[in-house]
Amino acid sequence: MPSIWTMGELLVEIMRPQPGLGLYNPGPFLGPYPSGAPAIFIDTVARLGHPAGMIGGVGEDDFGRGLIDRLRTDGVRCEHIHSYPGHATAVAFVSYFDDGSRQFIYHIDGTPAVLADGHGAEMIAGPGYFHIMGCSLMANDLFRARIFGVMSVLHKKGAKISFDPNIRPELLGSRKLEDVVGPVLQLCHVLLPGVGELALLGGQETVQENVAALFARTPIEIIVVKRGKQGASVYSRKDGAGESVDVPAYVVDEVDPTGAGDCFDAGFLCGLLEGLSLKGCAEVASAAGALNAGAFGPMEGKISRANVAKVMKTGCVPAELLVRPQA
């Protein structure tokens, strides 16, 4: 079976256990939890039973060892994740609020999270997809260039390129969006944006107009518009921007939304490699995202093929699959 690979940041999250505590005052935290959008994505791929590998970097410390051990235990190939002596693994401190918003303090710049150079990528055999996250491209210019280099190598080896724009204005800064994501869009096969990200990339008014614009100026074959609790809409070049496959979100008693979109991406690509219909791919994706949203911690959702099937059959995440914070 073709493998799925990604390259990007690995970090741990230290999280407030209850909403509203903020990050200013002393108080309880839980963690460290394995995290980083590419890591969440690729761990989900492995837990769904597909060959998976990651290119990245961690510090030579317990946080880094814990990250690699977790990924390896879940089935991710980690030989291209390097430990950097004398460096600390990247960390994010996170607090949640009752309105659903989140507050972050990141310690990523200069850490191994953005130091990986992709050396040895030419040795990767049988890549089916190479998945890229926009947040990784926005980390810094050198890391972005290295990701582009690996993208070019794996694309020439037959990998299709998938892209979640994951646009974060605080990371983009003064750089032009086209300069950051343009090279990916020109090789992209599957695009997985949110509605707002689609508008930024397409430059038009409506979802359909943005889809049509992207189909017109890129080789993208499939656009999956993620709508959060409203589900997802899938557009294919074959059917055009006027027709979509719409899939509702599964019901979940949300515990922590972090990483749900990354798990959605993983589920959709796994479905494509299995030859599922676009509707089937979106259903697997939605179930994986719902399972992760029902768990405290970015990678703590009880994601497996059996649990995905259970959610798809019942239409909701059952109470026994929820993971709440432990004091």
pLDDT at residue 314 in the model: 97
What's the whole-model pTM score? 0.96
Q: Under a CB-based contact definition with an 8 Å cutoff, are residues 7 and 143 in contact?
A: no
Is 239 domain-assigned? yes
Q: Does 169 score more than 80 pLDDT? A: no
- What is d(CA 307, CA 124) in angstroms, rounded to the nearest whole number? 30
pLDDT at residue 188 in the model: 98
CA–centroid distance for 268 within its chain: 11
Q: Which domain holds residue 140?
A: 37-56+119-321
Pairing type for strands 188-191 and 160-164 reads: parallel
Is 65 domain-assigned? no
Question: Rounded mean pLDDT of 218-231?
Answer: 96
Where residue 249 sits, what CATH number does that domain have?
3.40.1190.20
Count Cβ atoms within 10 A of the Cβ of residue 35 and give its class: 0-12 exposed, 13-18 middle, 19 or more buried: buried
Q: Which residues contact 135 (CB under 8 A, 6 or more apart)?
A: 8, 9, 37, 166, 168, 171
pLDDT in tens, 173-184: 777 888 899 999
Is 133 domain-assigned? yes
Tally of domains in the chain: 1
**Whole-angstrom Cα Rg for the chain:** 18
Task: Please report how many Cα atoms fall inside a 13 Å half-sphere around the Cα of residue 315, on the Cβ side.
Answer: 2
pLDDT at residue 327 in the model: 62
pLDDT in tens, 78-98: 999 999 999 999 999 999 898
Structure tokens at 140: 């810094």
pLDDT in tens, 94-119: 998 988 788 999 999 999 999 999 99
**What kind and span of H or E run contains 232?**
strand 232-236
